[in-house]
Structures are given as structure tokens and as C-alpha cells.
Structure 1
Amino acid sequence: MQRAVCPGSFDPVHNGHIEIIIRAASLFDEVIVAVSNNPAKNYRFDLQERMDMISETLKSIQGVIVMPLGTGLIADFAREHGAQAMVKGIRNSTDLNYEMPMATFNRHLSSVETVFLPADSRYQHVSSTLVKEIVGFKGDITDFIPFAVAQRFGLR
């Protein structure tokens, strides 16, 4: 069985994340969506809410499992769960420059390869930070978030 891990904070999950996870599910037998929870960060949604939104959105996609990442290294998580790869969405060269050193360290620490999937052009400009900012100013972001997220923002 080929297993991959798709890590992230997903605060909140948006359609760019969903698109990458669905594509990963078409490449691997199983995809673990590992939801991180850094106590130093201020999240809009708590860990369970973020996991629930992802699970609700992806319930019809075969082979996708949503789990908390825990407090350790993603490399250790991937190895402990028998993953052969980590999947990361890349929107632009800034993302790639940020992700490359982590991919190299993760391969060194766990022998797990990182697979970069380029973002669909519809979502190259979307980030969780921008979604939260636009919602804060009462902007319409419903084209960029799943129904489960829109409900929690009170938009549907």
C-alpha cells in the first residue's frame, strides 16, 4: 500500500487544500491529512473543528484519513504511519523556496520523500490567512471555501 501524508494547520481548510488532497488521493492508496496544532499560534478554529471541517468536506473521497499531527516532527509522524511520501501544494516560487529545506530535512530524518503538486490556477492566490482576513472585513469568499467552512463562518 502506498501511503502519503498531507500536513498542514488548515485554519481554515480552503478549496486549494481540498484540490491538492483529492489529487494526492488519486496518486496514493491512502492519504493521511495530518492537522497540526502549534500552541504558540492563535487559531481561528480549534483542532477538532479543523479536523471536522476536513472530514465533512472529504467524506466521499476514498482513502483519506484525517488525524491530529501531535507534537513531534512530521518526519517522525510519517515514518510511524508507514508513509512513503509527504504531499505539499505549491502556489508559487516563494512556497517552493520555503518548502525545499524542509523536504530535504524530512528525507534525511525519515527517508520519506516530499511530492510537490502545483496548485490549480484557480487557487494560486488563496491562503488561509487571506480567507480569515477577507471574512473579517465581510468580504465574499464562498467561492474559495468548502461548505463546511462557510457554515462555521456563518456564511451559509
Structure 2
Amino acid sequence: MITRTGVYPGTFDPITRGHMDIIRRGAKLVDRLVIGVTTNPSKSPMFTIEERLAMVKRETADIDGEILVVSFDSLLMDFAEREHAGLIIRGLRAVADFEYEYQMAGMNQQLNSRIETVFLMADVSLQPIASRLVKEIALYGGKIGKFVSPAVEADVSRRVYEIGRKGSA
């Protein structure tokens, strides 16, 4: 039996309700969904890779289907090839996302034409959510419960507290 494998890559710093929407819907498209938690040199993460892996594993534990959460630090297409993926799942929130993702899909297709990129539009109610904005809101004392699960909200609150303590020391 051939298993259809898809890869959903991201930094997930932190994982949001928008990410979860794409994961739930993406899991229905494949037999095996590999969530690739990566570093991004252009971003400074709030959480370590180990913390983000644990967070994503916890948040996806109740989703039906075969879901694997792993870290990677390589070209996405090399990672997808290693995982025997036939497609890459990307979430889109807005036109600005599309322009960037379209360019990336084109470059990835040049690197490996055997792997397709599939775009999923985030649910309308979740489109404005971005991890970067969630962190910014939390750092300024705003409420983030609309954007993340209660467990992630607690993780972020703990980290903001730790950051505050280091800053005042």
C-alpha cells in the first residue's frame, strides 16, 4: 500500500489556532502528516526548538490520523524528500502570504519537481493570527486566549514572566 505523506513546516513559535486549523485540515488530505518544526535564521524565537516540539506534540495529540512532529534544520525540499513526502502543505492568511508562498513554491518546484505544494486558506476567523503578533501582544500584557489554546497561553505567559524577570534583574 502506498502511503501519501505530507509535510507542514513552520517555526510554530508559538503554535496558534490558525496553525491548528491547517493541521486538522491537512491531516485529512494525507495518510501521514509530518509537522516539521524548524529554526528560521531571520526570526528570534521565544521558545527553544525542544519546547516548540513538545508544544506541537501536545497540541496535536488528539487529532485523528498519523501525525509525526519532528525538527529539521535543512532545506525544506531535502526534509520533504527524507520524509518521503509527496506534498508540502502551506497555510495562507492573506494576499501578502500568497505572494511570498507562491515564490517559495516556485523555487521549491525547481529544486524538486516530484513534490507538490498545496495551499490551504486559513478559516476566515483565524486569518489575522500570526505567531509574531501573538508574542507581541503577550509581551505588552495583552490577552492572547482568542489566538492560542489555554495550554499555549499558559506557556507564553510563563515565558513572558521569565523575560520580565531577566529584564528587571
Shorter-normalised TM range: over 0.9
Which 5+ residue runs of structure 2 have no aligned equivalent? Answer: 159-169
- For residues 14-63 of structure 1, give each alpha carbon's deviation from its aligned partner in whole angstroms, at most 9, with x where no partner exists: 00001101100011111111011135532100001111111001101121
Q: Name 2:142's counterpart in structure 1.
A: 139
Task: Name the TM-score, length of structure 1 as normaliser.
Answer: 0.94
User: Paired residues, what number?
Assistant: 154
Structure with larger Rg:
2
The share of aligned pairs that are identical, in percent, is 37
Distance 1:52 1:140, change over 3 A: same
Q: Name 1:22's counterpart in structure 2.
A: 24
The alpha-carbon deviation at position 119 of structure 1 amounts to 0.7
Q: Which shifted more, 144-153 or 78-87? A: 144-153
The two structures, once aligned, show a CA RMSD in angstroms of 1.3
Report whether the alignment pairs 1:149 with 2:169: no
Q: Name 1:67's counterpart in structure 2.
A: 70
Where has structure 1 moved over 2 Å in runs of 4 or more? 38-41
Task: Name the TM-score, length of structure 2 as normaliser.
Answer: 0.87
For 1:112 and 1:53, how far apart are their aligned partners in 2?
28
Alignment equivalent of 1:78, drawn from 77, 80, 90? 80
Which 5+ residue runs of structure 1 have no aligned equivalent? Answer: none
For 1:38 and 1:105, how far apart are their aligned partners in 2?
17
For 2:111 and 2:13, how far apart are their aligned partners in 1?
27
